[in-house]
Amino acid sequence: LVMFSSSIHEFREIAYGRAKLEGGRLFSEWADRHLASARRYIFPNVYGPEAKPFYCSFIANFAYQLTHNQEPQIQIDAPIRLVYVKNLCRFLLSEIYARGIERVIVPHDVELKVSEVLAIFRSFIKPDGSFVDRPADGYLRDLYDTFVSYGEMP
The answer to whether the beta carbons of residues 144 and 135 sit under 8 Å apart is yes
Q: What is the model's pLDDT at position 58?
A: 95
**Which residues does 84 contact at the CB level (< 8 Å), separation at least 6?**
46, 47, 48, 109, 139, 142, 146
Q: What is the model's pLDDT at position 146?
A: 97
Q: What is the model's pLDDT at position 154?
A: 53
pLDDT tens for the chain, 154 residues long, are 788 888 888 888 889 889 988 998 899 899 999 998 888 899 999 999 999 999 989 999 999 999 999 999 999 999 999 999 999 999 999 988 888 888 899 999 999 999 999 999 999 999 998 999 999 999 999 999 999 999 865 5
Q: What is the model's pLDDT at position 153?
A: 59
Cα–Cα distance measured from residue 74 to residue 149, given in angstroms and rounded to the nearest whole number: 21
- What's this model's pTM, rounded to 2 decimal places? 0.87
The answer to whether the beta carbons of residues 101 and 4 sit under 8 Å apart is no
Give phi and psi for 109, each to the nearest 5: -85, -40
**Which residues does 43 contact at the CB level (< 8 Å), separation at least 6?**
5, 6, 7, 8, 83, 88, 106
Q: What is the model's pLDDT at position 97?
A: 83
Cα–Cα distance measured from residue 4 to residue 15, given in angstroms and rounded to the nearest whole number: 19
Q: What is the model's pLDDT at position 7?
A: 84
Neighbours of 66 (CB within 10 A): 20
